Amino acid sequence: MIGVFCYAMLTVAGHAASLSVTVVGAQTADPRWQAVEEAVEFWNGQFAELGATLRLGPIARRVQPVPDDALLQISLSHAEAGHRGAALPGFPSELSSLPGDILIALSTLDFVSFGERWSPSRKGLVGLSRPDLPPRSLPNVLRNLVAHELGHVLGLGHNSDPAMLMCGRPAPCRPGLFASSTKRFFPLTETEKANLRAR
């Protein structure tokens, strides 16, 4: 399901507007830093192809611990709610004071990664599970996982096509399907593109 997203509020006199991104993690060698940069580049390419003025970035890095327990609870809440894309309560207070329209937290725990929708009144939030366990440790998975969760932040829900970026529960799609021996991003559906373009 496509959620309401106020792109128009971010457009100023026809010029590109942006949602700033802050990435928070405790380890500087974490491969998710690079995956975030690649996913943001993917989304900016999608916006350019759609003729949209919105862009993601700039990206700021904050090297500090993240509230793992709070992220785990949000992940569990998403699972209980069927991950319908609705914004859930409980934004971690440890992150709420950080700058950025979208916060991406690099957790040390193993849970189902999630993305919570951005709105003009609420920061977007992505919680990413630890990267060293399968399927996240498989080649090509991390960049697509981050892009998928940013899709939720931008208002996209799940679809049931395993060849597409936003495939997910309740369909039997899992991040392992993003595995590839070559770097590639899975595409958006034409319906998703049309909905993004319409905004």
What 3-state DSSP class applies to 147? helix
* Confidence band of 5 (pLDDT split at 50, 70, 90): very low
Answer whether residue 27 shows pLDDT above 90: yes
Give the residue, 58 or 87, on which the prediction is more confident. Answer: 58
Instruction: Please name the amino acid found at residue 93.
Output: S
User: For residue 133, what pLDDT is reported?
Assistant: 96
Task: Render the burial of 83-100: b for 16+ CB within 10 Å, e for the rest.
Answer: bebeebeebbeebeeeeb
Q: Hey, which CATH number is domain 14-198, 3.40.390.10, 3.40.30.10, 2.40.50.140, 3.40.50.300?
A: 3.40.390.10
* Confidence band of 81 (pLDDT split at 50, 70, 90): low
CA angle 59, 60, 64 (to 5 degrees): 140
CA 191 to chain centre: 19
Answer whether residue 2 shows pLDDT above 60: no
Rounded mean pLDDT, 152-169 = 95
Tokens 């496509």 appear where?
A: 2
pLDDT digits (tens, 9 = 90+) for 172-181: 999 999 999 9
CA 59 → CA 2, 16, 21, 100, 143, distances in Å? 25, 16, 5, 9, 15
Peptide bond into 58 cis (omega under 30): yes
